[in-house]
């Protein structure tokens, strides 16, 4: 029996790139899949390929950030396949620009597709799982895999909209992981890297032979988190590409200062914080660059 036999999964942005690879991998692991993307041919092609490989797939095109699309995706899963067990939030777009040049539309589009797009589907999926748990009297099988990015860890300078949306997705993942655990939900986030239409210009053409940057290298972790093995994993954030899977630690408290009189004065605060910040020139402090060397085995030196 395959890991996801009998399970039903929704995958957003499944018409191309990572979403298509993840949909095929989930179907190959036995899941019956509901595929979402913007209306167009590629989504049908992904569904047809899954069916040709012996899987079951239906499509429900639509803008993932629309309330009606989220509602329709869950309804399609329930009406077509009898339920919902897995939600993979993946759809996304880029509108890169430095913060001082960014237009309102560039900001709103990216926040809307990524952050609202994750919220809308999660809202309807978790409502379904909560109601199911109340009906059966016990938590059921429920998995969410969200798609963040290392851009949020790094404070990606040319992507303030994208970094903010991805940071928001991590926070949404943690709140969902905490808020829906008792209903059976396991919610985790991945920060993938792969050669897709989103990154092709940056990464260049694929090499002849096996591509360490192929989206198919990311899909096994999504299957793992969606499968029975994901039962004990909740509220975690992974970096995944090539042959690398890394799990991030939580942010830590770096230093604590107490006012000697119980209340800070400006002078006392100046003196206390100068010990922490005066030694080095200003630089972005609250970033995590530890994941960058991990990419060298996938993307080569200087990545
Ligand atoms: N490729 C990478 O290296 C990388 C790195 C970090 C994060 N990610 C994230 O992975 C996810 C997938 O990216 P990808 O690289 O496969 O890109 P991609 O452009 O190949 O695929 C994204 C898909 O999302 C769809 N989409 C866009 N807006 C949509 C909307 N409003 N409703 C429904 N579908 C919509 C697109 O049509 C497309 O098929 C994104 O969330 C992206 O931010 C990718």
In contact, 262 and 127? CB cutoff 8 Å: no
CA distance 268 to 277: 15
CA distance 29 to 69: 26
Domain boundaries, the chain: 8-247
Topology annotation, domain 8-247: Rossmann fold (3.40.50)
The catalytic position among 134, 149, 182, 229 is 149
Which residues lie across from 263 on neighbouring strands? Answer: none
Query: What is the model's pLDDT at position 54?
Result: 98
Taking each helix axis from N to C terminus, what angle separates 41-52 and 17-28, rounded to the nearest 10 degrees? 20
Pocket of ligand 1 (CB under 6 A): 12-13, 15-19, 36-38, 63-65, 90-93, 113, 117, 147, 149, 192-194, 196-199
CB-based burial label for 68 (10 Å; 0-12, 13-18, 19+): exposed
pLDDT in tens, 1-20: 899 999 999 999 999 999 99
Measure 94 CA to ligand 1 centroid, in angstroms.
8
CA distance 78 to 64: 18
CA distance 271 to 76: 61
Query: What is the model's pLDDT at position 23?
Result: 98
List Cβ neighbours of 147 (8 Å cut-off, separation of 6 or more).
18, 88, 89, 90, 92, 118, 169, 189, 190, 192
Token digits of residue 166: 């991805």
Nearest CA to ligand 1 atom 25: 13
Q: What is the pLDDT along the chain (303 residues), one digit of tens a residue?
A: 899 999 999 999 999 999 999 999 999 999 999 999 999 989 999 999 999 999 999 999 999 999 999 999 999 999 999 999 999 999 999 999 999 999 999 999 999 999 999 999 999 999 999 999 999 999 999 999 999 999 999 999 999 999 999 999 999 999 999 999 999 999 999 999 999 999 988 888 888 989 999 999 999 999 999 999 999 999 999 999 999 999 999 999 999 999 999 999 999 999 999 999 998 888 888 899 999 999 988 877 545
CA distance 101 to 289: 26
Establish whether 128 is a catalytic residue: no
Nearest CA to ligand 1 atom 7: 149
Model-level pTM greater than 0.95?
Answer: yes
Establish whether 149 is a catalytic residue: yes
Nearest CA to ligand 1 atom 33: 37
Q: Which atom of ligand 1 lies nearest, measured to the CA of 166?
A: 43
Query: What is the model's pLDDT at position 201?
Result: 82
Which of 19, 23, 41, 204 is the pocket-test mutation for ligand 1 (most atoms within 8 Å of CB)? Answer: 19
């Amino acid at each position: 029996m395959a890991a996801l036999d009998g399970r039903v999964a929704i995958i957003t942005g499944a018409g191309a790139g990572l979403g298509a690879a993840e949909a095929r991998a989930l179907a190959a692991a036995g899941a019956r899949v509901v595929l979402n993307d913007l209306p167009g041919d590629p989504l049908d092609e992904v569904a047809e390929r899954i069916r040709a490989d012996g899987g079951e797939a239906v499509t429900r095109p639509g803008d993932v950030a629309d309330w009606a699309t989220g509602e329709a995706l869950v309804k399609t899963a329930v009406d077509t396949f009898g339920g919902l067990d897995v939600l993979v939030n993946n759809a996304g777009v880029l509108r890169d620009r430095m913060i001082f040049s960014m237009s309102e539309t560039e900001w709103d589009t990216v926040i809307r597709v990524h952050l609202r797009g994750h919220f809308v589907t999660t809202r309807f999926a978790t409502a379904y799982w909560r109601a199911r748990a109340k009906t059966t009297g016990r938590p059921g099988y429920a998995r969410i895999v969200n798609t963040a990015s290392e851009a949020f860890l790094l404070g990606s300078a040319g992507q303030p909209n994208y970094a903010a949306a991805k940071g928001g997705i991590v926070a949404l993942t943690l709140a969902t992981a905490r808020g829906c655990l008792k209903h059976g939900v396991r919610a985790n986030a991945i920060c993938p890297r792969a050669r897709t239409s989103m990154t092709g210009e940056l990464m260049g053409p694929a090499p002849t032979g096996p591509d360490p940057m192929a989206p198919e290298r990311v899909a096994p972790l999504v299957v793992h988190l969606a499968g029975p093995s994901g039962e004990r994993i909740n509220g975690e954030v992974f970096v995944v590409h090539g042959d690398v899977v890394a799990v991030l630690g939580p942010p830590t408290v770096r230093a604590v200062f107490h006012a000697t009189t119980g209340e800070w004065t400006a002078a006392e605060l100046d003196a206390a914080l100068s010990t922490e910040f005066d030694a080095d020139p200003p630089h972005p402090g609250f970033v995590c660059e530890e994941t960058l060397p991990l990419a060298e085995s996938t993307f080569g030196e200087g990545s």
